[in-house]
Structure 1
Amino acid sequence: MTTLSDPPPASCQAAPASGLKLRALFRDGQGEMHLDWPIARLDEAIQDVRGTLWLDIEDNPGEPSPAAEHLLLNVFKFHPLAVEDALRESHIPKIDDWDDYLYLVFHSSSIDPISDDLCLQELDVFLGPNYLVTYHEAPIAFLSEGREAIEHDPRDRMKHGADHLLFRFLDRSVDQSLAAIEVLDERVDQVQDAVMESLGPQNLHQIFRIKRSAIQLQRTFSPQRDVLNRLARDPYRVVKEGHRIYFRDVYDHVVRIHDISESLRDLIAGTLDTYLSVMSNRSNEIMKTLTMVTVMFMPMSFIVGFFGMNFFGEALELEARLPKWFLFFASLAVMSLSPVGMLAYAKRRHWF
């Protein structure tokens, strides 16, 4: 069974390392939007308490960049344990309160269209009073979509603050996971139809792959539900009280996905039971047919064996009393009629 700490399947592996990518978007206290804020001036953006800064860090997979570590430790002054968690370890979804900022681990999920494996992308988030730092090791679609939306509508997308920007990203992540659930549901329907049409090891393999993905998805969303519940209810300093209702809405979506994943596991278990039942019924039919064929030819085998003994003809002197051709055709008739008689008897008793 796969765990969250296990490496993803080959089809879900991150893209090859392409170097550190830093993108900073900054809306200053006067409402002016800067779509390409210089990394060297991050301190200035952090000091603007009325502004909103979003720094997105895309690092090398499995090879944390010293430059990224320097930014997190020395520019934003995050705790070394939180930075170590973000750079070097993979965690289940969680939230840590460091008073002046929050550290979150969140996962977005998708289904590989070829192997039906669940692909998890970890997103590490640092949320401060006026900044949002996202760290990940591979491109994440909803972050790219959020950046494009800000570029197309720079005035309104970041005016509500960093916590509202985080809500938008988490909401898009949950929507992406809901799409993964729908894909798994379609796969279950397809494999159910395939099981009823034909049996084969490929169907059994697909059932277990879908089951593994569903279990992994449920294990991921169980802690993510707790993360969003805390964001919606706990009085964190960096989350405005009026914005908790937005996280509550995302929490409701996660609860729905968690419930759907549980029902999906039941469907997969039912599909596996159906497969085994159909396989058992088909084996029974085959065994019944083979048994009936054996029974049909049993009288023939008895006659051939009985009359094939040497002493029988000598004891009764059949060869002297009857012509050989008569004995041959009589034996042939008895041997031919006995399977037919056995088959008719089995049909009458509804054995076959």
Structure 2
Amino acid sequence: MPRFFRKSEKKAGSPPGLQIETRAALGTGSDICVLSYSKDSLETYYPPDIDAALPLIQKEKTTWIQVTGIHDHFAFSRMGELFNIHTLTLEDMVNPAHPPKFEDFDNYYYVTLKQLAFDPRNHEISENQVSLAVMDNLVIFVQDKPSPCLRAVEKRLEAGRGNIRTAGPGYLAYALIDAVVDQSFDVVGQIVETVESVERDMLENLNPDHLEQIHRLKREVIFFNKQLRPVRGALLSLIKSESPLVPDATIRFYADILDHVNHILDAVSSLQEILSSMLDFYMSAQGNRMNEVMATLTIISTIFIPLSFLAGIYGMNFKFMPELEWQWGYFALLGGMAAIGGAMVVYFKKKGWF
């Protein structure tokens, strides 16, 4: 449940914006990487702090600042001072539970997303908070944990092909958002494979473990939908924004990302229906199995009713019973019981009751 609803760490009545609480002394400081590039060059730096990153920004180049780690609030407060980032934006950057959204400010626009990954061993989705502040010639990318999708964008910069070196920060922001959303495609694919595997196992050998697997997968699909659905609203707001930092040339690319998100959400809806059908199948199969067991027990009980009747009669302790002194009485009674039981079995078999 904590993944679906996280209690805010902010105290009631506290002022809005970033609250200065550093945890760097506990080893949770932020790592910084700066990539400065133009059409003909690409330089990578690893400054010790955000102040050291400021001189690396050049007007004739596009700069991409990667900040990994969101718990050093002093560092984020300083970043807000250096780059004129609103305190409410800084608050959202350091809040790992904040849902995806888009906000437009005077000198930048801000996008926060959730990068998702699926662990097929325990059928659980993990999330990683990522945020972008896009400025005139600068993109600040903040992530809670190292993101593997960044490497794909870095490789494109290193190759120097296409528009990424020349199209400015707006296109870089598009490439980063696209990489994060594409990661969701992989997650959906892994969930689909897991669901299909569970479905095949259910058809071959239904067992109680399948109920737990279905419920776990349903919970993860709901969690996935909760994290991805707000991305659609954020992208729509970005596309409709009139910010000069969102070039017209990149809007159609953002529309393509929106199409990807809609496609993923359709797949998620289908997964929810499939899992509901699997749950119905499991409950129906269990009900049918229980009916079969009850039918078998009922037939057995029905067969033994007349046999119990005969045994009850000859189990009475009356002295004068004609058959008690008969030499073949015992064997005749057992034979009669066998004949009655056999006749009932044949009758039930012809009726198709078992």
Q: TM-score, normalised by structure 1?
A: 0.87
Query: What are the superposed Cα offsets for residues 57-99 of structure 1, whole Å, 9 maximum, x if unpaired?
Result: 0016xx33523432x2121121111111111452111111112
Matched, 1:258 2:265: yes
Q: Are residues 341 and 17 of structure 1, via their aligned partners in 2, closer, same or farther at CA, if it must alter by over 3 Å?
A: farther
Q: Which residue of 2 aligns with 1:82?
A: 89
Counterpart in the other structure of 1:125? 132
Match of 2:277 in 1: 270
Task: Tell me, yes or no, if the aligned pair for 1:45 and 1:51 is still in contact at 8 Å.
Answer: no
1:173 aligned counterpart, secondary structure: helix
The list of structure 1 runs, each at least 4 consecutive aligned residues, that deviate by more than 6 angstroms after superposition, is none
CA distance in 1, matches of 2:272, 2:332: 65
Matched ranges for 1:189-338 at <5 A: 189-311=196-318, 314=320, 316-320=321-325, 322-323=326-327, 326-338=328-340
How far is the alpha carbon of 1:129 from its aligned partner?
Answer: 1.8
Shift of 1:242: 1.5
1:8-30 deviation digits (Å, cap 9, x = unpaired): xxxxxxxx9664210001126x8
Distance of 1:66 and 1:262 partners within structure 2:
42
* 1:235/1:241 contact within 8 Å kept: no
CA distance in 2, matches of 1:226, 1:83: 21
Structure 2 counterpart of 1:34, from 43, 59, 72: 43
Per-residue displacement from partner, 1:288-309 (whole Å, max 9, x unpaired)? 1111111122221111111111
1:59 aligns with 2:69: yes
Aligned letter for 1:240? P
Mapped partners of 1:285, 1:174: distance in 2 = 49
Q: TM-score, normalised by structure 2?
A: 0.87
Identity over aligned pairs, percent? 27
Alignment equivalent of 2:34, drawn from 19, 24, 38: 24
The 3 A distance-change label for structure 1 pair 242 and 157 is closer
Which residue pairs with 2:179 in the alignment? Answer: 172
Q: CA deviation at 1:168?
A: 0.8
Identify the residue that residue 99 of structure 2 maps to in structure 1: 92
Q: Which runs of 5+ in 1 are unaligned?
A: 8-15
**8 Å Cα contact 1:31/1:155 also seen in 2:** no
- How far has the Cα of 1:159 moved from its partner? 2.0
Corresponding residue for residue 348 of structure 1: 350
Residue among 146, 153, 159 paired with 2:160? 153
Shift of 1:31: 5.1
1:115-147 per-position Cα deviation (integer Å, ceiling 9, x unaligned)? 111111110111112111011121101113322
Q: Answer yes or no: is the 8 Å Cα contact 1:171–1:250 preserved in 2.
A: yes
Q: Distance in 2 between matches of 1:2 and 1:200?
A: 29
Taking a change above 3 Å as real, the CA distance of residues 164 and 303 of structure 1, as seen in their structure-2 partners, is: same
* Aligned partners of 1:101 and 1:127 also within 8 Å: yes
- Tell me the amino acid that sits aligned with residue 69 of structure 1: S
Contact in 2 for aligned 1:4/1:91 (Cα 8 Å): no
